[in-house]
Amino acid sequence: MTNPPETGDRTLAVLLDDLLPPAVGVPTIDAPRLAEFAARHSRSAPLARLLDIVAAASPGTPFADLDAAARAALLSRIRRQHLAAFADFFLLAIQCYCLDPAVRQAFGDDPAAPFPNGRSLPDGDLELLEAVYERGPLFRDPHALTDKEQTP
Amino acid sequence: MAGLPPVDILIVGAGATGAAVAWRLGQAGLDVLCLEQGEHMDPAHYPSTRPDWELARLQDFHVSPNVRRREADYPINDSDSPIAIANFNAVGGSTILFSGHFPRFHPSDFRVRSLDGVADDWPIDYQQLAPYFALNDRMMGVSGLGGDPAYPPIDGLLPPVPMGRLGACLGRGFNRLGWHWWPAYAAIATRPHHGRPPCINLGPCNTGCAQGAKASTDVSYWPAARQSGVRLQTGARVSRVTLDAQGKASGVLYFDATGNEWQQLARLVVLACNGVGTPRLLLNSACPAFPDGLANRSGLVGRNLMLHPLGYVEGLFDEALDSQLGPQGCSIYSHQFYETDSARGFLRGYTMQVLRGPGLLETATSGFLRREIPPGPGFAAALRERFGHLAAMGIIVEDLPDPDNRVTLDGELTDSHGIPAPKIHYTLGDNSRRMLAHGLERGKEVMRAAGARRTAAFGPVRHTGWHLMGTARMGNDPARAVVDARGRCHDVDNLYIVDSSVFVTSGGVNPASTMQAIALNIADGIVARRNAA
């Protein structure tokens, strides 16, 4: 079954709202962005596949027109029955989401490439090692062991 | 097929050991050519130069050649192994993607039979390798902290990589248990070193270091080797080692980047293709004199494959650890359970390697797959709770040699030149299973002692087969070893093996430091033999 484009767009928008909703202080991604991301990475197939599964699972009423409880129940069933397809779709959505600069900033991540500026990192407290040092060596030195000690 | 004028020394493979040997032999004034199937990497194109660096790990910088499928890669049938083989094919070899964690073997690792009654002793020891460990540390630029009670004294280290909040937090956990821990040894320059800039904490060292601080051998050994006159030819895939009428290695056959086949003649051949690539080449070099594979009268070529089963331990902390920051594989480590204590229910031991936490994408992905971050209204909150709050630890388990764990040739699978691909046959031994289970539990104990609210542990982790050892083992008895103590094949006088194929046992640490020290030692043996001739 092929999902009509307009229905597919609405379904995708509502799917994203349900699965990756905006939260306090955290934006989310919209359907066009996910579709563009999937196309750019030659991974539109998982997206189309889940849309087809959703369409097939709600033949009477378009998914986007269902109420929230009905959508949640439907998605729960799809996740159980089409585990791999659901995971492929959601992992793709997660990739698009987590690479979005605004989303990354919202989580306290630096959206810039690590290079060339790098990241700053505290040295940590090397005095914590005193206790380790004071316990003394813990390696075995074969040259210092007697024959008796070397016998297992 | 065209023949090329002979060279004194022909090295196959430009990775960790091929580069070290090339440099050492070049320094001695020998005429050296190295053939490498990969190309030079351009650090300007490493993933850390891009905001979407986390994606590259899943694509063209994936650790598995079967996923990555770069032109230089050859396929590996590892479907008969719980651990998939990881490598990289380029100038620098797998050091391009290694994390730079750089501990040495312990002195006891070379006396396994004498001390613990298992496997075999090596024909060389820590004392013999000590000057080569030191030399290699200087060439690679190794950071760490002196005074580590887990080792004999190690001098000349660059300052350690910052342990960060994560390392300090887990260090306190180790202290509460009274267990050993220490800043990691890292082949990462923390100060300018031999023209390399210092580390700036890019993070994903294991996708290539754009800064050039990590000592992949393309930026550590190779510039110096080239200055010594060593020639390096890339895009050259060797298909077999050839023999002359006297049974000596006469050179190799290889395909160049355009697919033309050549014969390169040489007076001495050195194999540095790693613990899978080297036995593959020897087995593919079968000939009437060696119907079971070149230099394989012992029947041990490809056998005794050791992979270091790796366990993963994770702790979730309320406090922000900023654990996503810093060199991914290098923070602190512990050898509390490294030396044998038979009361633990297994022989030999393991490393606890504290890893940095995952990036945002990996945090979300693994959280979803493990059903800890649910799709829906709770997604963002669950992700926020985990990102930067996760501590991770690898348990690197010593793998004992087992002749049934082996590399053979696949009957059907070939690379792009039609050369038979390697096939991996590997199962975890009982000792390794018990050790892994012990390590996973002790790892969780550390996490809890450090304040983790939740812990998780599992292993072996599939895509962690970086440490490829034992498939052309070293020993004095030609019936029980492929090469002698100086890396020379018992069966072929002028054929040497310098990579971790020669390991007799695997230790419980990342092998790069030890295999490069062994390679330098073998190189000096080649020079001495040349000078004596």
B371 domain-assigned? no
Cβ atoms of B113 and B498 closer than 8 Å: no
* Closest C-alpha among B505, B526, B523 to residue B105: B505
Looking up residue B330, the CATH number of its domain turns out to be 3.50.50.60
Sheet holding B350-355, edge to edge: B182-183, B332-334, B350-355, B390-397, B310-316, B454-458
> Cα separation of A39 and B268, whole Å?
52
> Cα separation of B100 and B215, whole Å?
7
Amino acid type, B60: D
> Cα separation of B141 and B191, whole Å?
9
Strands B32-35 and B231-233: parallel
Integer distance in angstroms from the first to the last C-alpha of chain A? 69
How would you write the pLDDT of chain B (533 residues) with one tens digit per residue? 777 889 999 999 999 999 999 999 999 999 999 999 999 999 999 999 999 999 988 899 999 999 999 999 999 999 999 999 999 999 999 999 999 999 999 999 999 999 999 999 999 999 999 999 999 999 999 999 999 999 999 999 999 999 999 999 999 999 999 999 999 999 999 999 999 999 999 999 999 999 999 999 999 999 999 999 999 999 999 999 999 999 999 999 999 999 999 999 999 999 999 999 999 999 999 999 999 999 999 999 999 999 999 999 999 999 999 999 999 999 999 999 999 998 999 999 999 999 998 999 999 999 999 999 999 999 999 999 999 999 999 999 999 999 999 999 999 999 999 999 999 999 999 999 999 999 999 999 999 999 999 999 999 999 999 999 999 999 999 999 999 999 999 999 999 999 999 999 999 999 999 999 999 999 999 999 999 98
> Cα separation of B109 and B170, whole Å?
27
pLDDT in tens, A6-30: 666 899 999 999 999 999 999 999 9
**Is A36 near chain B, with CB under 8 Å?**
no
pLDDT in tens, B216-248: 999 999 999 999 999 999 999 999 999 999 999
Nearest to A150 among B114, B181, B368 (CB): B114
The total domain count for chain B is 1
Is A118 in contact with B114 (Cβ distance < 8 A)? Answer: no
The residue segments making up the domain with residue A14 are: 5-106
B425 domain-assigned? yes
Contacts of A112 in chain B (CB under 8 A): 51
Amino acid type, A121: L
The total domain count for chain A is 1
Separation in Å, CA of A3 to nearest CA in chain B: 23
Contacts of B182 in chain A (CB under 8 A): 129, 132
Q: Quote the DSSP letter at residue B188.
A: B
B252 domain-assigned? yes
> Cα separation of B412 and B418, whole Å?
10
Structure ipTM over 0.95, yes or no? no
B372 domain-assigned? no
> Cα separation of A38 and A93, whole Å?
9
Q: Which of B360, B370, B398 to mutate to test the interface with A (most CBs of A within 10 A)?
A: B360
A44 domain-assigned? yes
Distance of CA A118 to CAs A110, B98, B211, B216, B522, Å? 10, 19, 9, 19, 38
A75 domain-assigned? yes
Q: Quote the DSSP letter at residue B399.
A: P
Residues 308-327 of B with CB under 8 A from A: 322, 324-326
- Mapped onto helix, strand or coil, the DSSP state of residue A65 is helix
A149 domain-assigned? no
> Cα separation of B123 and B281, whole Å?
25
The residue segments making up the domain with residue B465 are: 2-357+389-532
Cα angle B195, B142, B446; round to 5: 140
